[in-house]
Amino acid sequence: MPLGRYAGAVTDETILDALEKMNKAVEHVQSQFTTVRTGRATPALVERLLVEYYGSHVPLLQLAGFQVPEARQLLVKPHDRATMPAIERAIRDSDLGINPSNDGVVIRLNFPSLTEERRKEYVKIVKHMSEDGRIAVRNVRRDARKHLEAAEKASAISADELERAEKELEKITHEHVELIDKAFGRKEQELLEV
């Protein structure tokens, strides 16, 4: 059976699928990093908090706007003032360790400076997140490799085509792991910055 164009389609499709999944893994790790608090105030710390709103849990992002007037202060301005107590409760109950102050119009969040011990603890958390990301990328590589090997066994692709595809997979895996490592390095530096 001549392999021709079909062989290239199988490998290209597998590699593109793996590339897409690896990109999502990197994006996921980067979005997780934004939830880890540095010394600065940022809406990413609270926008995903779930607030009880008329019997259902809604992300704070949908209920309020945010402003950062100073490096260590975040203002949360609810679209509906009736949600203020629920928003305050969600912030107070979160693991941020911040006590919100409500002036009737906005909720002020003052972020204290991080202790050195707390900074190191956050670095460990971020390191764990980045390792999970690396594992996810490697799992995508493993699954793609299994798919390619099965295609070779079924004579859908040649051994040369398999080898070429595996080299390409290795290359994109390395690139994505490197992206995660660089993001970790930036976040670690940000966390340890006094």
With 50 as the cut, is the pLDDT of residue 135 above it? yes
Query: What does the pLDDT read at residue 46?
Result: 84
- The C-alpha atoms of residue 136 and residue 89 are separated, in whole angstroms, by 35
- The C-alpha atoms of residue 144 and residue 138 are separated, in whole angstroms, by 10
Residues 181 and 156 in one domain: yes
Query: What does the pLDDT read at residue 35?
Result: 77
With 60 as the cut, is the pLDDT of residue 3 above it? no
Residues 75 and 122 in one domain: no
Query: Within its chain, how far is the Cα of 73 from the centroid?
Result: 24
Residues 23 and 87 in one domain: no
With 80 as the cut, is the pLDDT of residue 179 above it? yes
Residues 80 and 21 in one domain: no
Residues 175 and 125 in one domain: yes
For residue 147, what is the domain's CATH number?
A: 1.10.132.20
Residues 122 and 180 in one domain: yes
Q: What is the mean pLDDT of the chain?
A: 87
Residues 48 and 24 in one domain: no
What contacts 151, CB < 8 A, 6 or more positions away?
Answer: 10, 11, 14, 157, 162
Give pLDDT tens digits for 8-30: 688 889 999 999 999 999 999 99
Residues 10 and 26 in one domain: yes
Domain total in the chain: 2
Residues 133 and 183 in one domain: yes
Give pLDDT tens digits for 53-79: 888 999 988 999 999 888 888 899 999
Q: Count of residues for the chain? A: 194
Residues 120 and 188 in one domain: yes
Asked which of 59, 87, 110 is the last residue of a domain, the reply is: 110
Query: Within its chain, how far is the Cα of 116 from the centroid?
Result: 24
Residues 120 and 30 in one domain: yes
- Portion of the chain with pLDDT greater than 70, in percent: 94
Residues 160 and 94 in one domain: no
Mean predicted confidence (pLDDT) in 84-100: 85
Report CA torsion sign: 109, 113, 117, 122: positive
For residue 103, what is the domain's CATH number?
A: 3.30.1360.40
Its domain, for residue 90, covers 43-110
